[in-house]
Amino acid sequence: MDAPTMPVMGAGQTSAVEIHDLGIRYDLRLTKRTTLKGSLAGMLRRSEGRENHFWALRHLDLKLAHGESLAVIGPNGAGKSTLLLALAGILEPSEGEIVTHGRVSTLLTLGAGFELDLTGRDNIDLAGAFLGIPQAQMDALNPSIVEFADIGPFIDAPVKTYSSGMRARLGFAIATSITPDILLLDEVLGTGDQTFRARSQARVRDLVGKARAIVLVTHDLTTVREFCNRAILIEKGHLIHDGEPDEVVALYRDRVARRKLMAEEDAQRFVSAPASTAPR
């Protein structure tokens, strides 16, 4: 595995997030229905020395300063969303620790955690209560949130009548209107039409300009290069590289190309193998 490289925090920068030797372990036994047959099979697997868990993240160290916009990239299953869930406090570390300095806001709880039977306007108040924001402050923010979400009369309709895009727009409007110290985003900048995407990017850039810390998980490498000022590459739960966006994107593309070439070569060898040596 390549040794990860990490930038040094510049003078005058204050830490927003500190991650020390983070590990997140999933118990595979909790992902399946427990049956007598399954339990017996599990005991046999354990007797064979097989693991009943896997590490989604392991030995991850990271520091994020206020004013940094960090992109988290990597292949599917790399651990990107697990990292975001841990930063949001939804997952507890199995080992190591995460220390955050300031208020954390995320669409993981605001967008996906709406009360579906309540209206959009009611969910704005609920989100404020969840984040510990005084009602008077939320009342003052309400008009700007409604305007930015731009979902028209649906703001007074139950959220269960919303499309996924409308929920994401409202969640983004809430999460970014409270001026968080640390903002966690997952593929949100691709939500909505071109006008809304442009407004979303402008708002997040404004937050970065106000010395806010942003963590963005995305598969859109163009967004990484144009929007973020730092990026990390994660593969199989490990930090591979930490650096400038262009550098990390180039490394990721090179590794993807190499894996594709190796897969094609393996497939070609399989096709060319004599029938007597082909696996059955």
H-run or E-run covering 85: helix 80-87
Please name which of 210, 206, 215, 173 lies closest in space to residue 64, comparing C-alpha atoms.
Answer: 215
- The rounded distance, in Å, linking the Cα atoms of 249 and 56 is 22
Using left for φ > 0, alpha for ψ between -120 and 50, and beta otherwise, residue 2 falls in: beta
Q: Which amino acid is at 225?
A: R
The torsion region of residue 51 among left (phi > 0), alpha (psi -120 to 50) and beta comes to beta
Q: What integer pLDDT is reported at residue 107 of this predicted model? A: 67
Q: Which of 105, 153, 114, 94 is nearest to 132 (CA)?
A: 105
When the pLDDT of each residue in the chain is averaged and rounded to a whole number, the result is 83
For residue range 140-149, list pLDDT tens digits in order: 999 999 999 9
Do 206 and 159 touch, CB atoms closer than 8 A? no
Compute the average pLDDT of residues 154-180.
89
Judged against a pLDDT cut of 70, whether residue 259 lies above it is answered with yes
Strand partners, 245: none
Reported as a single tens digit per residue, the pLDDT across 4-52 is 444 444 445 579 999 999 999 998 765 544 444 554 555 555 545 556 7
H-assigned helices in the chain: 36-47, 80-87, 107-110, 120-130, 135-149, 164-177, 194-209, 221-227, 245-272
pLDDT: which is higher, 278 or 273: 273
